[in-house]
Structure 1
């Protein structure tokens, strides 16, 4: 039985031992047994914390061919590739031919007999993975702090501390030439699918680092969000690759491969003679993207992977399942008290507006729990209008949200951003890869749209496409990826919060106008102090509360459904125009979120009445502001110039006749589905 040190530090040795033992036992199923062995080891108590993580340990600290893990996001999927599953090689000591296993390797041993009948090819799939976009700093620190992995530099370089984040180590890697050399510690033979050969193996490996350094300057790691740092990797999957989906967040355990031999592909002259014949059909650009230097983009050969139901280090990694019933029950008992504390905190942040704070909590615990036809049920996009345009309120507000949610992104809706940013991913057919966009985000990411940044000006074609993409994301929870000749629809589950001065030009599920309780002369001083966060223990309670509420199951009993239907009929008796099917749908969503925010997994009569009450208060506030809003919309209504391009008024409002945002150009169809939304919400 391999020891802990063996399966952590030398997993290839464990695999090769099982392969060698299987040669005497036909049909032994050694590959499945090897995977089961590592899964069983990782199920042991705290075993996953012993495995070093690519997320928080610099690459040159990790031992090549050791077991590592990576909390990542599948950004792209490459074409399948073939490799030598088994092959014969000459044993250097005995000079005898020995059958070798090529699984979980990028390079083979020198001396391969390519004419042997024992050589068998196999297929594997490659996924391009990056860190989860927009992951909050407190999440990264939490995962790094819980790690029990003992890592030391894989070379003679001796650091002053044993654990550094990628952000801390990034500058050293770029500027210090000595660590650059130390990131190439591993030498090995050549790959059967990439470069391979015999006599000149060592010479090519010595030349590889120089080609890596040359290609590093122009290598695009293709992160979805600008300014992101961290590792990316090529994930090699051998079984059940159909279970992986684009944009899925997963935690992968696999064998790390950083052989400099892989970088021979970066040298176009060398690659033309070294490439596998099937790979020779790739263009130079495609080779550069699909075979980047291993020191920058390591290969990770998957042994085990699991989808991430969340990326909150304060919650059990498996999510809220039956085996975590003790954790769940204790958390549910405290949710009402934590909610009261969070409501008081948000009331302070939102200038003393308790009603806006109530709706902010509902927004942060919202989640698309199912889809009925094209309708995403459970989403709750909030438009917080009336945000003050002083002291960078919206930026500070976002920083507070970022401290509470695991993943988030701030998008200032300036004209420059709208006209220049790539929000929607686009297929690059020359390099055969998917160019990422800012809307390629993981499930439950909080997207903060700062519409107060929008100034007077004109949207060009890109700007119109970007604003339309935001509208479709909000209304239908989907992003249409650009494949040049067609668009491909990808469903998503992203919480969108729109901060604006007036009514947003984008659609929303709920709008509430902020009513400040702070006198204007004191506003600057008040805003300067709202960024003071609670103590770490209270922040952690808020973080756990929001993540747990978002994952809870929810149901509506038949008798409550009948009561809701009767209430709806009664409300329409006196004035049928007072409440519509859309209003009923919104109240049902608010009632659901209110219940979940209190730790209740089913709708009670009290929660329904409370939902009606807060909606009545919100609608009453909007009625009071109706005259002012009409005047503002009249003054700021957008114009269409002679070329037919939509223009932005002083408050940035588009002409909704020229551009029907978020409805795909079919406004009447969107109105017609209102009744179906309410009906679906009642019966799901």
Structure 2
């Protein structure tokens, strides 16, 4: 299959099944074509690595993103008949297209018995929110030269003309197949192989450079948004981004059965790229009305999916499908030896030599939800953390820690919890019942994103109703790792997230964080000193530890049960909740050293850490 002209192969396959006498409505992409697409992955450009104004229309493109919303299924004319000026007929498919495909002077025969209507799923997919710059740079640098697009800039209106004019030179009038050549070029676009567009990746803008989603007094959302050349993200669409981003989202159109992806899951798709560069202002009234409630493809490009897979993570330094390769069990022990010491050393430098705080931070960085009840009311594995005493020599810890996490984690974000921010932004997404439009919420983040909540930015004043609702949303996220989708006139529906929340504050946090500890520096705060090899080792280690399976052998369970009974006899104030807390810490301690099962050393270390936190809190 030609990467730049996939519709040629798709239409040829359609013609073949029609000529073989099979019902045209039974057409699906042959397995061999699907495999060709998968095998050509590295030769297919990514929508994020090139200026999309240089991508040939109707060519194959890759897209990585997070499913942010689903729309109602779209009814389309999958198979249709056309009639020529002399009465000749032809049968076509509009699969993997936004528009039907007719030659000049031909028209669709809407009364034909060959016409078949079907539905396709539509998914709103945004660039992975809070994705750090090093991930994007690594992925772009590793893309082979064959996946770099070279060509002439697409002129406004060229894509529509190309789609409408495809196959004008086809003389096939025998009615047994399609009449378009599928090359996507048409009269409106000519490619120049001498030109190349190199997309630069600016450093990821931090909190303060761009604002998150805000809601005005009328309930409408607004964002400040930085754009890279060619991004052309219009205001009407920017509202749907959880965080500002210089990359464009996409509307995925999926054929066949329900793809089964969940909200906030990350996916990678390969599909046919549709983008009409006509500016929204150039659309006719009819076209603009037809485009509602979704922006036109010049603002929100469409990708007709041929292949889609969910991705467990977006770390380019480890295999994409860890479970299939059984990579974690063999790689984690060595990764822990290489990465844990320099990571702990770097965290010590940031918190002024406080070993307990550095250890808690390290455990926090490898935490994730590993167990969730069916109703979502209880989750295990998350380790929200409040470090307080962030003042004096530690006053710049939020900025320092944010800068450090942006170099070692795949997704992170610093949120200054100022009064204005809490009173204007929205943690939960909202969906209009009349227009089906979504106003994004800050908590719509990818799996394992790290969020620093900077309470030191809070000033004197009063929270309004929205501010209180935002604090309640953060509490829910910490307790159950869920976010509420607020539907107009229909209440809220809870959806799962898996986000690591770190609260930095001067005094104890106003949020109900399960683990709170004051920082007790013993040395000057310094910048972390890591080599490039150490940094890469830490990047891989953090995600390997998150994805590792963990077990507790039966004999170890008996030993823990006996030990905990002794602890309660010695101190009746210890409750059953303490056992859950200790087991959670023991799991993280063991994984941090590369061990996939609990032993006595891990249990003893967990008790030591928990006792040290309790002792320090009592000393306050």
Mapped to 2, the partners of 1:183 and 1:330 lie a distance apart of 51
Give the deviation of 1:380 after TM superposition.
0.6
Partner of 2:92 in structure 1?
A: 100
- Which one of 248, 251, 254 corresponds to residue 265 of structure 2? 248
Partner of 1:635 in structure 2?
A: none
Mapped to 1, the partners of 2:458 and 2:73 lie a distance apart of 44
Mapped to 2, the partners of 1:324 and 1:30 lie a distance apart of 41
- Which one of 453, 476, 479 corresponds to residue 457 of structure 2? 453
Provide closer, same or farther for how the CA distance between residues 591 and 102 of structure 1 changes in structure 2, counting only shifts above 3 A: same
- Which one of 320, 323, 345 corresponds to residue 321 of structure 1? 323
- Answering whether residue 504 of structure 2 is matched by residue 508 of structure 1, we say no
User: What SS class does the counterpart of residue 72 from structure 1 fall into?
Assistant: strand
- Answering whether residue 502 of structure 2 is matched by residue 536 of structure 1, we say no
Mapped to 2, the partners of 1:43 and 1:216 lie a distance apart of 29
Structure 1 unmatched ranges of 5 or more:
158-178, 192-204, 207-212, 276-286, 626-684
Give the deviation of 1:568 after TM superposition.
0.8
Partner of 1:144 in structure 2?
A: 140
Mapped to 1, the partners of 2:496 and 2:391 lie a distance apart of 34
Give the deviation of 1:58 after TM superposition.
1.2
User: What SS class does the counterpart of residue 362 from structure 1 fall into?
Assistant: helix
- After TM superposition, the structure 1 stretch with the greater mean CA deviation from structure 2, 552-561 or 386-395, is 386-395
Preserved contact between residue 235 and residue 299 of structure 1 (Cα < 8 Å): yes
Q: Give me the TM-score of the superposition, normalised by structure 1.
A: 0.75
Mapped to 1, the partners of 2:145 and 2:24 lie a distance apart of 31
Mapped to 2, the partners of 1:109 and 1:224 lie a distance apart of 33
- Answering whether residue 440 of structure 2 is matched by residue 436 of structure 1, we say yes
- Answering whether residue 226 of structure 2 is matched by residue 221 of structure 1, we say no
The CA deviation string for residues 7-58 of structure 1, in whole angstroms up to 9 with x for no partner, is x1211111111111111334489977625334423554xx422211012211
Counterpart mapping for 1:247-266 below 5 A: 247-259=264-276, 266=283
Partner of 1:309 in structure 2?
A: 312
Preserved contact between residue 42 and residue 147 of structure 2 (Cα < 8 Å): no
Give the deviation of 1:101 after TM superposition.
1.1
Give the deviation of 1:410 after TM superposition.
1.4
- After TM superposition, the structure 1 stretch with the greater mean CA deviation from structure 2, 360-369 or 31-40, is 31-40
- Answering whether residue 74 of structure 2 is matched by residue 81 of structure 1, we say yes
Partner of 2:469 in structure 1?
A: 465
Partner of 1:297 in structure 2?
A: 300
- Which one of 392, 407, 411 corresponds to residue 411 of structure 2? 407
Partner of 1:668 in structure 2?
A: none
Counterpart mapping for 1:205-220 below 5 A: 218-220=235-237
Q: Give me the TM-score of the superposition, normalised by structure 2.
A: 0.83
- Which one of 106, 109, 113 corresponds to residue 109 of structure 2? 113
Partner of 1:665 in structure 2?
A: none
Mapped to 2, the partners of 1:568 and 1:375 lie a distance apart of 23
Counterpart mapping for 1:530-679 below 5 A: 530=527, 534-577=530-573, 579-625=574-620
Give the deviation of 1:481 after TM superposition.
1.9
Give the deviation of 1:293 after TM superposition.
2.6
Counterpart mapping for 1:28-427 below 5 A: 34=29, 36-44=31-39, 47-90=40-83, 96-110=88-102, 111=106, 112-150=108-146, 155-157=151-153, 181=155, 184=158, 187-189=161-163, 218-259=235-276, 266-269=283-286, 287-290=291-294, 292-318=295-321, 320-325=322-327, 329-372=330-373, 374-389=377-392, 392-427=396-431
Give the deviation of 1:354 after TM superposition.
1.3
Preserved contact between residue 44 and residue 147 of structure 2 (Cα < 8 Å): no
User: What SS class does the counterpart of residue 406 from structure 1 fall into?
Assistant: coil
User: What SS class does the counterpart of residue 121 from structure 2 fall into?
Assistant: strand
Preserved contact between residue 557 and residue 602 of structure 1 (Cα < 8 Å): yes
User: What SS class does the counterpart of residue 224 from structure 1 fall into?
Assistant: coil
The CA deviation string for residues 54-87 of structure 1, in whole angstroms up to 9 with x for no partner, is 1221111211111111001112211111111111
- After TM superposition, the structure 1 stretch with the greater mean CA deviation from structure 2, 80-89 or 238-247, is 238-247
The CA deviation string for residues 405-457 of structure 1, in whole angstroms up to 9 with x for no partner, is 11112111111111111111111223212211111111111111111111221
User: What SS class does the counterpart of residue 98 from structure 2 fall into?
Assistant: coil
Preserved contact between residue 277 and residue 298 of structure 2 (Cα < 8 Å): yes
Mapped to 2, the partners of 1:400 and 1:541 lie a distance apart of 15
Give the deviation of 1:264 after TM superposition.
10
Provide closer, same or farther for how the CA distance between residues 116 and 463 of structure 1 changes in structure 2, counting only shifts above 3 A: same
Partner of 1:517 in structure 2?
A: 522
Partner of 1:167 in structure 2?
A: none
User: What SS class does the counterpart of residue 150 from structure 1 fall into?
Assistant: helix
User: What SS class does the counterpart of residue 294 from structure 1 fall into?
Assistant: coil
Mapped to 2, the partners of 1:421 and 1:565 lie a distance apart of 46
User: What SS class does the counterpart of residue 289 from structure 1 fall into?
Assistant: coil
Provide closer, same or farther for how the CA distance between residues 463 and 21 of structure 1 changes in structure 2, counting only shifts above 3 A: same
The CA deviation string for residues 86-114 of structure 1, in whole angstroms up to 9 with x for no partner, is 1122579x973221111111111232222
The CA deviation string for residues 306-346 of structure 1, in whole angstroms up to 9 with x for no partner, is 1110011111122x234354x75244223134212211111
User: What SS class does the counterpart of residue 142 from structure 1 fall into?
Assistant: helix
User: What SS class does the counterpart of residue 380 from structure 1 fall into?
Assistant: coil
Partner of 1:176 in structure 2?
A: none
User: What SS class does the counterpart of residue 78 from structure 1 fall into?
Assistant: strand
Mapped to 2, the partners of 1:270 and 1:361 lie a distance apart of 54
Provide closer, same or farther for how the CA distance between residues 262 and 288 of structure 1 changes in structure 2, counting only shifts above 3 A: farther
Mapped to 1, the partners of 2:531 and 2:495 lie a distance apart of 39
Provide closer, same or farther for how the CA distance between residues 43 and 323 of structure 1 changes in structure 2, counting only shifts above 3 A: farther
Give the deviation of 1:347 after TM superposition.
0.8
Give the deviation of 1:533 after TM superposition.
5.1
- Which one of 5, 11, 17 corresponds to residue 16 of structure 1? 11
Preserved contact between residue 136 and residue 405 of structure 1 (Cα < 8 Å): yes
Provide closer, same or farther for how the CA distance between residues 344 and 307 of structure 1 changes in structure 2, counting only shifts above 3 A: same
Mapped to 1, the partners of 2:396 and 2:555 lie a distance apart of 48
Provide closer, same or farther for how the CA distance between residues 619 and 371 of structure 1 changes in structure 2, counting only shifts above 3 A: same
